[in-house]
């Protein structure tokens, strides 16, 4: 029985993780649930999965929950401190790190410091603090198993194979909803259009990042650190069917690719079952039904944010932190209808231009640069009005 903690249980990844737990009640036991503010869903999850502890964002929510469950042994925590406490809960075998944004970084680090394996869905952790995370995991021998379909794909292709045998690694991108719209229409694409991802059902932030391809940029950076690759080994292929998730080319010209239906439960389950694979039904891939797998180069003029991300990938140091923070602020502004689609790029470009890249020597530095960049981005936004 694998005992798991799910950080971000009410989000898209969290809910899919619980779907997998439902399939394997004799293999997985939920010990800890961490949610933000979706109390109603958390209540249902508590009732169904009987965790030993939960944490929510606000102290007020925690108080209310404590009141409701006072007849049970459930422990309820709140805030950042609460989050840290539940990650330290004893006897956890695996922490599913699925809180989006930089907020997911601290608990991820905490788990790894304790030597607990992490199923990592929070790509920002790796983007902003990849070298730190890897160092800690190496010290405690905790495993990091990616949940993201592309990184799970790379992980499965590489599994046990020596890094020196790898020539290139391709992450695929569906191209999102704007792959084929005329370039001149891009700037004014609405929120609902940007959210309408053709293949994956995901959270809002990730969906926008998929429409700009920033998602893929962050994934390139994540892959660099996660698998110890050189920037020039990493590339993106547009693949609208989203069946092939990653392709690894070895130094002898032979490639392995990982494929599956577009169902997040597949990589999530793999992260939970690793190194085993557990039998499921109804998710077979019939390529004769799919018929065609299409691959295209990325049009840089269509996805200028990817070029920015590539620069951050190559330069490293503090630049990925800036990239990520600026993008988070920009996407938030877009989702709040304060800027248009094109302006997401402008915010990120501005912040990168204003920043002098430097090496990072501590986690505090990461958090400082993150905060500075957010401030800068918000100031830049104040001067902007949404141009129609």
Alpha carbons 330 and 349: distance in angstroms, whole number: 11
Residue 182 found at the interface with a copy of itself (CB under 8 A):
no
**Considering CB under 8 A, how many residues would be counted as binding a copy of itself?**
51
CA–CA separation, 163 and 161 (whole Å): 6
Structure tokens, 7 = 């950080």
Instruction: Kindly state whether residue 22 participates in binding a copy of itself, applying the rule CB under 8 A.
Output: no
Interaction pattern, residues 224-243, with a copy of itself; x per rule: CB under 8 A? -------------xxx----
User: Would you count residue 385 as binding a copy of itself (CB under 8 A)?
Assistant: no
Q: Name 230's Cβ contacts closer than 8 Å, sequence gap at least 6.
A: 224
Q: Which of 210, 187, 184 is nearest to 197 (CA)?
A: 210
Note the maximum CA span of the chain.
Answer: 63
Q: Does 307 bind a copy of itself (CB under 8 A)?
A: no
Please identify, among the stretches 124-132, 182-190, 266-274, 355-363, the one whose residues bind a copy of itself according to the rule CB under 8 A.
266-274
Cα end-to-end span (Å), the chain: 55
CB of 151 to a copy of itself, least distance (A): 13
State whether residue 198 is helix, strand or coil: coil
Per-residue exposure over 144-157, b if at least 16 CB sit within 10 Å of its own CB, e if not: bbbbbbbbbbbbbb
The nearer residue to a copy of itself, 185 or 294, going by C-beta atoms, is 294
Q: Which of 97, 156, 340, 343 binds a copy of itself (CB under 8 A)?
A: 156
In the bound state with a copy of itself, the residue whose beta carbon lies nearer, of 295 and 337, is 295
Q: Are 376 and 354 in contact (CB under 8 A)?
A: yes
Among 40, 73, 192, 292, binds a copy of itself (CB under 8 A): 292
Cβ neighbours around 44 below 10 Å, total: 13
How far apart, in Å, are the Cα atoms of 297 and each of 4, 149, 153, 240, 314? 39, 20, 20, 11, 19
| Residue 277 three-state SS | coil
294 makes contact with a copy of itself (CB under 8 A) = yes
Interface with a copy of itself includes 263 (CB under 8 A)?
yes
- Residue 122 · residue 11 · CB < 8 Å: no
Q: Which is nearer to a copy of itself, 52 or 216 (CB)?
A: 216
**Nearer of residues 236 and 351 to a copy of itself, judged by Cβ:** 236
67 binds a copy of itself (CB under 8 A): no
At 350, list the tokens.
Answer: 């501005």
Give me 383's structure tokens. Answer: 């001067």
How crowded is residue 37: how many other Cβ atoms within 10 Å of its Cβ?
A: 12
Nearer to a copy of itself, 122 or 258 (CB): 258
Q: Which of 267, 325, 333, 360 binds a copy of itself (CB under 8 A)?
A: 267
Judged by CB under 8 A, the residue of 64, 280, 338, 354 near a copy of itself is: 280
Structure tokens at 293: 């797998």
Binding test (CB under 8 A) with a copy of itself, winner from 2, 3, 143, 168: 168
Site for a copy of itself in 72-131 (CB under 8 A): none
Residues that bind a copy of itself (CB under 8 A): 156-157, 159-161, 165, 167-168, 170, 237-239, 244, 247, 249-261, 263, 266-267, 269-270, 273, 276-280, 283-285, 287-288, 290-297
């Amino acid at each position: 029985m694998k005992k798991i903690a799910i950080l971000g249980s009410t989000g898209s990844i969290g809910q899919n993780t619980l779907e997998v737990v439902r399939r394997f009640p004799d293999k997985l036991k939920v010990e800890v649930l961490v949610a933000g503010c979706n109390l109603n869903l958390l209540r249902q999850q508590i009732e169904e999965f009987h965790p030993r502890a939960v944490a929510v964002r606000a102290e007020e929510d925690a108080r209310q929950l404590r009141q409701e469950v006072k007849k049970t042994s459930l422990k309820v925590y709140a805030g950042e401190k609460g989050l840290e406490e539940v990650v330290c809960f004893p006897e956890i075998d695996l922490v599913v790190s699925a809180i989006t944004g930089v907020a997911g970084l601290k608990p991820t680090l905490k788990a790894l410091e304790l030597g607990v394996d992490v199923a990592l869905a929070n790509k920002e952790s790796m983007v902003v603090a990849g070298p730190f995370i890897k160092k800690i995991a190496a010290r405690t021998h905790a495993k990091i198993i990616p949940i993201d379909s592309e990184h799970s794909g790379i992980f499965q292709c590489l599994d046990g194979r020596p890094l020196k045998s790898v020539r290139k690694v391709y992450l695929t991108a569906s191209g999102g909803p704007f792959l084929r719209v005329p370039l001149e229409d891009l700037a004014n694409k609405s929120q609902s259009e940007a959210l309408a991802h053709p293949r994956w059902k995901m959270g809002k932030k990730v969906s926008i990042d998929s429409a700009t391809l920033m998602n893929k940029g962050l994934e390139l950076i994540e892959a660099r650190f996660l698998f110890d690759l050189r920037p020039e080994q990493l590339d993106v292929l547009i693949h609208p069917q989203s069946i092939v998730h990653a392709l690894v080319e070895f130094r002898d010209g032979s490639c392995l690719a990982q494929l599956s239906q577009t169902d997040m439960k597949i990589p999530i389950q793999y992260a939970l079952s690793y190194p085993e694979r557990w039998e499921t039904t109804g998710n077979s891939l019939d390529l004769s039904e799919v018929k065609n797998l299409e691959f295209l180069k990325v049009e840089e003029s269509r996805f200028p944010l990817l070029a920015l991300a590539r620069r951050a990938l190559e330069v490293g140091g503090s630049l990925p932190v800036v990239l990520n923070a600026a993008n988070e602020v920009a996407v938030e502004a877009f989702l709040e209808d304060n800027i248009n689609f094109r302006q997401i790029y402008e915010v990120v470009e501005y912040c990168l231009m204003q920043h002098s890249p430097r090496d990072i020597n501590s986690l505090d530095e990461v958090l400082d640069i993150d905060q500075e960049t957010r401030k800068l981005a918000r100031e830049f936004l104040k001067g902007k009005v949404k141009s129609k």
